[in-house]
Amino acid sequence: MKRNSFYELQQRVIYLAESQSYQDALMQLEEAKTQFPKKIDRIGQWKANVYSLLEEDKKALNELEEVIHKGFWWNPVILENDPELDRLKNTHDFQKIITTCAQLYHQEKQLTVPKLRIEGNPNADKTIFSLHMRGSNTEDFVEEWQDPSLTNNYLMAFPQSSQLFSYNCYTWDDAEVAYSDVNEAFEKLTIQHSLDHKKKIIAGASQGADIALETCLTTFDFQGFILLIPSFKNIDKIENFLKNDAGKSLHGVIITGDQDPFYDNVMKVHSLFEKYNFSCRLVVQQGQGHVLPDNFPTLFQEAVEFILPKNKK
């Protein structure tokens, strides 16, 4: 699958809707149901949005109901906070969908536990422990790591949060639960694979990068960190770690884009690394928003080489 292709679908549909090319948007979304069968919840919501813009309320409701009938659902907050569905929200059918979603969400939430997926080369001398984005999952995140330059050179472990957000979407919102999930996953990894003679790097994307950094600064299990499009929010907390010399011997790399909404915060955090004399390289991709870059495998390899240079003992 082409990297970021679902993101590109989303951007195309937004462009078509803003251009009032509604029929083209509907056609592309209908085709996408076959291309992305595990994303029916998001595609169905987007189709309902377009029908709502066209004031075709029945068709909009039918799209939402089709999602439920196919076994998918949403965190009800997602639909309730969607402004493009406002014209539907007082209808009986919409409220019925909300009630069904609430029941399914709470049922699934009770059953959700942290998971670990292991990929790559078990004989590699380097281990990558990488945390998914907010609102994502290990299955989708692993797809970003299937380049042979990664799968051949690293043992890779991907923990999945126990914090359910919506259908097959998980967050790291509760930091204490997140740290518990990460520690549990790392312990499982050490049971399944001996890491005694492997170099270990922690990585993460978006909110997963934030948790990865704090984990790295509070444990000595890793030689460094690679933060992909981090979404730093609590900068004061990060500074408290740094000024207390937490993880001073670590090397790290931050990869972001100059169009990322969190770009300014990334720059502030990187300046803190410089202020407290930490070894942290910043890589800024021109024109990139909050999405992994197309040349992600190459950038990741370069980041690993910065953290673990070949002549480093």
Q: State pLDDT tens for residues 182-191.
A: 999 999 999 9
Q: Give pLDDT, residue 7.
A: 82
Is pLDDT above 80 for 99? yes
Q: Give pLDDT, residue 240.
A: 92
Query: Distance from CA of residue 197 to its chain's centroid?
Result: 29
Is pLDDT above 70 for 216? yes
Question: Encoding tokens for residue 53?
Answer: 């813009």
**Which is nearest to 85 in space by CA: 104, 71, 69, 67?**
67
Whole-angstrom distance, CA of residue 208 vs CA of residue 187: 18
Q: State pLDDT tens for residues 162-203.
A: 999 999 999 999 999 999 999 999 999 999 999 999 999 999
**Band of pLDDT at residue 6, cut at 50, 70 and 90:** confident
Q: Give pLDDT, residue 249.
A: 81
Whole-angstrom distance, CA of residue 243 vs CA of residue 236: 10
Q: Give pLDDT, residue 1.
A: 34
Q: State pLDDT tens for residues 48-90.
A: 999 999 999 999 999 999 999 999 999 999 999 999 999 999 9
Is pLDDT above 90 for 310? no
User: With pLDDT > 70 as the criterion, what percentage of the chain qualifies?
Assistant: 96
Whole-angstrom distance, CA of residue 255 vs CA of residue 62: 41
Is pLDDT above 50 for 2? no
Q: State pLDDT tens for residues 237-287.
A: 999 989 887 667 889 999 999 999 999 999 999 999 999 999 999 999 999
Which residue has better confidence, 230 or 248? 230
Q: Give pLDDT, residue 248.
A: 72
Q: State pLDDT tens for residues 122-139.
A: 999 999 999 999 999 999
* Inter-CA distances, 263 with 122, 133, 194, 231, 269, Å: 35, 16, 37, 8, 10
Whole-angstrom distance, CA of residue 203 vs CA of residue 198: 16
What strand order describes the sheet that includes 251-257?
A: 115-120, 155-160, 126-131, 199-205, 224-228, 251-257, 279-285
Q: Give pLDDT, residue 313.
A: 46
Q: State pLDDT tens for residues 12-59.
A: 999 999 999 999 999 999 999 999 999 999 999 999 999 999 999 999
